Amino acid sequence: MQSTLAYRNGNYLPKHEISIGIDDLGFERGFAVFDYCRERNGKIPFLNDHLKRLQHSQSILNFKYPASIDTIEKIILHLQEENHLINSYFKTIISGKVIHDSIEPVITIYQDNYVAYESAMYENGVSLIISEFAKPFPEYKTTFYLGALREFTRMKQNNAEDVLFYYDNIIRECSRCNIFIVKNHLIYTPDKNMLQGVTKKHVVACAKEKYIVIEKDITVKELFEADEVFISSTTKNMMPVVRIEDRFIADDSPGIITKDLMQMFALYCDNYEAGK
């Protein structure tokens, strides 16, 4: 199978030929940010939102001369044109190298096939575990995933889809998703100390067409007393949550509002791609 074309530090090359040197500060020091966007049926929905977030994330690295977001967009579109993949994803990583006593950005971008989640996960819901952890610089999409990966074994043991972080009794986000709860027909989602998800932004916009959405602190107690819980991300869109640790949410099945909003959001995305 022919390797897809990728980009690394000024060069286009087959993805399998990308190499990361030990002088790359992303590898050596965890000094890197990234973003991930989907390509669907030949279009990249919400690309501008992803690029804006990447620019924001890059600001935490304090480069004297930051990587050009316009250049990154051109590279993504060039890879899309060259690779001819349908229903794929792009991952862009900005790391750094020390050159002449200055840290300069290094850009790596690759495209690959997107593998959809099983339909049963949307029909029946998924499980989460929780962990007390205050992620450093939570508003930026960094490659620092220690909080999640240290829980990897426990996630697998509990057949959990992700780990939900909380701190000082306030829930924040999952390692790869934002979280929402439904209580008394109102939708709630955290508003600070976490990454502002691109999909979350559009789920909120979609939900407000029919429901009231309140962005505020949510306690662990409120989480477990919720009528419904769901998560959102670029890879998952919206996905119901029916169990957290050993406790079931409501009646252990996706809630009415969650299922309704999933249908609404699917149509929202279709219309967005169609430019409506």
Report pLDDT for 3. 83
- Which pair of structure tokens corresponds to residue 119? 């339909």
Task: Return all residues near 102 (Cβ < 8 A) that are at least 6 apart.
Answer: 64
Domain 119-273 CATH class label:
alpha beta
Report pLDDT for 275. 59
pTM, rounded to two decimals: 0.94
- Among the listed residues 206, 202, 220, 142, the one whose alpha carbon sits nearest the alpha carbon of residue 175: 142
What amino acid is encoded at 109 in this protein? I
> Is residue 94 pLDDT above 80, yes or no?
yes
What amino acid is encoded at 245 in this protein? E
Is the Cα dihedral 235, 161, 194, 200 positive or negative?
Answer: positive
> Is residue 1 pLDDT above 60, yes or no?
no
- Outline which parts of the chain fall under CATH 3.30.470.10: 5-113
Mean pLDDT of the residues in the chain: 95
What amino acid is encoded at 135 in this protein? K
Domain 5-113 CATH class label:
alpha beta
Tell me which H or E stretch contains 148: helix 146-149
Residue pLDDT, tens place only, 227-262:
999 999 999 999 999 999 999 998 889 999 999 999
Span 164-185, average pLDDT: 97
Residue pLDDT, tens place only, 32-80:
999 999 999 899 999 999 999 999 999 999 999 999 999 999 999 999 9
Span 182-193, average pLDDT: 97
Place of tokens 């935490």: 60
- Which pair of structure tokens corresponds to residue 76? 């993504």
41, 239 Cβ separation under 8 angstroms? no
What amino acid is encoded at 54 in this protein? L
DSSP state of 145: -
- Outline which parts of the chain fall under CATH 3.20.10.10: 119-273
Tell me which H or E stretch contains 170: strand 170-174
Distance CA 188, CA 215 (A): 6
Place of tokens 């930051």: 66
Supply the DSSP string of 11-44, one letter for each residue.
EEEEGGG----TT-HHHHH---EEEEEEEBTTB-
Span 209-235, average pLDDT: 97
What amino acid is encoded at 28 in this protein? E
C-alpha dist (Å) from residue 262 to 42, 162, 203, 239? 22, 19, 9, 8
257, 230 Cβ separation under 8 angstroms? no
